[in-house]
Amino acid sequence: MEQNDEIICNCLQVTRGEIIHAIKTKGLTLIDEVSDETEAGTGCSSCHDDIETILKEING
């Protein structure tokens, strides 16, 4: 499995690649923005730490 195929949000089956694409194309900087665009983190919210890590990786 490629890293971008990794499921980050298990509740809604959102992948790392989908999150990265949304961050890069929409200029997202906040978890709430990622959630609005991808629905990741809108279920149980246990993936918020992973989303935050991805945001930091992309945005510095």
The one-digit pLDDT tens for each residue of the chain (60 residues) are: 568 999 999 999 999 999 999 999 999 999 999 999 999 999 999 999 999 999 999 999
Question: What domain count does the chain have?
Answer: 1
pLDDT of residue 48: 98
Q: How far apart are CA 44 and CA 27, in angstroms?
A: 25
Q: Which residues contact 21 (CB under 8 A, 6 or more apart)?
A: none
CATH code where residue 40 lies: 1.10.10.1100
pLDDT of residue 2: 65
Q: Which domain holds residue 40?
A: 3-59
